[in-house]
């Protein structure tokens, strides 16, 4: 498969995403292009290192002149917090990191977000390379510079914008990814279709079975297309002052679902999947998204099933959580809605009664198997 180089612009300078099957084989030479470093600090998790460590080390250490040190962290979503970030900082400092070192994050979105946050804060900034190993991390989190950790009050509430100097996206590392994680990643791929690419969406509708089987050619195609969209959006609006908000399609609902279940029930992509279907319904209730477009969005997202069921919580509780989401502005909730597939805008004028109504009926409408919450008179 052909390797692609995608340029991303950021306020810290531009950087390259190299993607394609087998790009890790050139990891050492790609990293050498960045300059020389006094030491290399690999950050990963025990699980990721077991499945991908050998491959990464093989292609890094052969020609690496700088000493390579290893730091393993817990990559459970429930451990994506300041405590884990502090432990990682201390481990880096104890092992002699300095401002001319390089941190290489090898893992899913949790490793990437925490290592990125630590890279931005430790010694006020150490160079970072991302080697994402989940589909979500490959098509989304490793690009665009958002780093962060969760607070009990909400997701990613402490973080920075700190782009990597290089992102190496090798689709062959996805071979060991459990099916559930893979399907979660596809939720973000569907998102790119909804917000920016009618053709990608229609192509997914047609080829979803092959995509679910991880057909290598199809996988490379959807990863590259997703990265092109993400790169284009974040290059134009790094700090999310406008356009970048569209990447949050499904995320206002998704983050609330993750937070209310203490990050223990949904994987990020699964929560986003529920969130996208709910956002489509909300768009329809607001007379923005036509019924046939809602139906296409819901049908495609449902092909990611099974998803953990909607939590048995009153809509009002979810809405209260959405208010502490960092997307809320001046007390107003913000939702990305799609007037049609391939187009999306952010809205802050959703009437409270409509939102509550949608939250009330969405889980039953979307998934008739979802058990009715007890005492479902929340509205």
Catalytic residues, which ones?
124, 146, 188, 230, 240, 244, 248, 251, 255, 268
Instruction: Pick the stretch among 46-54, 64-72, 88-96, 216-224 that binds ligand NAD (CB under 6 A).
Output: 46-54
Residue from 39, 154, 163, 184 touching ligand NAD (CB under 6 A): that is 184
- DSSP 3-state assignment of 335? strand
Task: Please identify which residue in 55, 71, 165, 268 interacts with ligand NAD, judged by CB under 6 A.
Answer: 268
Nearer to ligand NAD, 30 or 188 (CB): 188
Contact (CB, 8 A) for 366 and 302:
yes
CA distance 364 to 349: 25
Q: Which of 16, 18, 60, 75 binds ligand NAD (CB under 6 A)?
A: 75
| Binding flag, residue 154, ligand NAD (CB under 6 A) | no
CB atoms within 10 A of CB 162: 20
| Closest separation in Å from C-beta 315 to ligand NAD | 23
183 binds ligand NAD (CB under 6 A): no
The CA distance from 203 to 361, in Å, is 30
Which residues share a beta bridge with 332? Answer: 329
Rounded to a whole number of angstroms, the minimum distance from the CB of residue 102 to ligand NAD is 19
- Binding to ligand NAD by residue 275, rule CB under 6 A? no
CB contact set of 363 (below 8 Å; sequence gap of 6+): 274, 309, 310, 370
The torsion angle over the Cα atoms of residues 159, 162, 163 and 168, rounded to 10 degrees, is -60
CA distance linking residue 81 with residue 156, whole number of Å? 9
State which residue, 41 or 55, has the beta carbon closest to ligand NAD.
55
**Which C-beta is closer to ligand NAD: that of 225 or that of 296?**
225
User: What is the residue-wise DSSP string for 264-289?
Assistant: SS--HHHHHHHHHHHHHHHHHHTT-S
Residue 238: C-alpha distances to residues 5, 169, 171, 277, 307 (Å): 19, 20, 25, 26, 31
Residues within window 91-130 making contact with ligand NAD, judged by CB under 6 A: 107-111, 113
For residue 80, the minimal CB distance to ligand NAD (Å) is 5
Smallest CA-to-CA distance from 10 within 145, 109, 104, 124 is with 145
Pick the closest to residue 292 from 205, 183, 353 (CA basis). 205
Q: Is residue 52 a contact residue for ligand NAD (CB under 6 A)? A: yes
Q: List the one residue from 27, 40, 48, 282 that touches ligand NAD (CB under 6 A).
A: 48
Other beta carbons within 10 Å of 2: 8
Contact positions with ligand NAD (CB under 6 A) in 311-370: none
Stretch of residues binding ligand NAD (CB under 6 A), selected from 15-23, 27-35, 172-180, 203-211: 172-180
From residue 75, give the alpha-carbon distance in Å to each of 37, 54, 207, 290.
Answer: 26, 19, 32, 40
Query: Could you say which of 43, 173, 224, 229 contacts ligand NAD (CB under 6 A)?
Result: 173
- Give how far the C-alpha of residue 161 lies from the chain's centroid of Cα atoms, to the nearest Å: 15
Q: For ligand NAD, which is the closer residue by CB, 134 or 367?
A: 134
Closest CB to ligand NAD among residues 268, 296:
268
Treating both helix axes as pointing N-terminal to C-terminal, what angle do 268-285 and 251-260 enclose, rounded to 10 degrees? 130
Q: Which is nearer to ligand NAD, 307 or 358 (CB)?
A: 307
**Contacts with ligand NAD: how many residues (CB under 6 A)?**
32
Closest distance to ligand NAD from the beta carbon of 128 (Å): 12
Residue 176 interacting with ligand NAD (CB under 6 A): yes
Phi then psi dihedrals of residue 319, to 5 deg: -65, -40
Residue 36 C-beta: closest distance to ligand NAD, Å: 28
Reduced to 3 states (helix: H, G, I; strand: E, B; else coil), residue 128 is strand
Task: Give the one residue of 41, 55, 146, 334 binding ligand NAD; rule: CB under 6 A.
Answer: 146
177 binds ligand NAD (CB under 6 A): yes
* Residue 226 interacts with ligand NAD (CB under 6 A): yes or no: no
Q: Binding residues for ligand NAD, per CB under 6 A?
A: 45, 47-48, 51-52, 75, 77, 80, 107-111, 113, 133-134, 136-137, 140-141, 144, 146, 156, 173-174, 176-177, 181, 184, 267-269
């Amino acid at each position: 498969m052909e390797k692609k180089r995608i340029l991303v612009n950021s306020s810290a300078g531009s950087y390259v995403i190299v993607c394609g099957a087998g790009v890790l084989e050139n990891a050492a030479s790609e990293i050498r292009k960045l300059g020389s470093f006094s030491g290399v600090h690999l950050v990963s998790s025990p699980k990721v290192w077991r499945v991908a460590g050998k491959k990464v080390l093989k292609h890094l250490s052969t020609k690496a002149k700088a000493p390579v040190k290893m730091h393993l962290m817990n990559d459970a979503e429930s451990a994506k917090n300041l405590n884990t970030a502090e432990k990682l900082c201390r481990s880096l400092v104890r092992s002699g990191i300095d401002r001319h070192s390089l941190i290489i994050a090898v893992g899913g979105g949790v490793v990437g977000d925490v290592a990125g946050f630590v890279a931005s804060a430790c010694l006020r900034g150490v160079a970072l390379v991302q080697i994402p190993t989940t589909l979500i991390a490959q098509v989304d989190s490793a690009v665009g510079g958002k780093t962060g950790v969760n607070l009990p009050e909400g997701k990613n509430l402490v973080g920075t914008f700190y782009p990597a100097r290089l992102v190496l996206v090798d689709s062959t590392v996805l071979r060991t990814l459990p099916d559930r994680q893979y399907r979660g990643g596809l939720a973000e791929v569907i998102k790119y279709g909804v917000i920016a690419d009618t053709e990608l969406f229609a192509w997914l509708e047609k080829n979803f079975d092959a995509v679910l089987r991880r057909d290598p050619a199809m996988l490379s195609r959807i990863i590259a297309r997703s990265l092109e969209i993400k790169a284009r959006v974040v290059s134009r609006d790094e700090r999310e002052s406008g356009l970048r908000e569209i990447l949050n399609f499904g995320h206002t609902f998704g983050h609330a679902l993750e937070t209310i279940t203490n990050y223990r029930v949904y994987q990020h992509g699964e929560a986003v999947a529920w969130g996208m279907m709910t956002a489509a319904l909300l768009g329809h209730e607001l007379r923005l998204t036509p019924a046939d477009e809602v139906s296409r969005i819901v049908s495609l997202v449902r092909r990611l099933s099974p998803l953990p069921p909607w939590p048995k919580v009153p809509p009002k509780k979810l809405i209260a959580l959405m208010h502490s989401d960092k997307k809320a502005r001046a007390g107003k909730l913000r939702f990305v809605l799609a007037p049609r597939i391939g187009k999306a805008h952010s809205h802050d004028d959703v009437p409270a009664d409509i939102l509550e109504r949608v939250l009330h009926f969405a889980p039953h409408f979307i998934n008739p198997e979802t058990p009715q919450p007890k005492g479902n008179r929340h509205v």
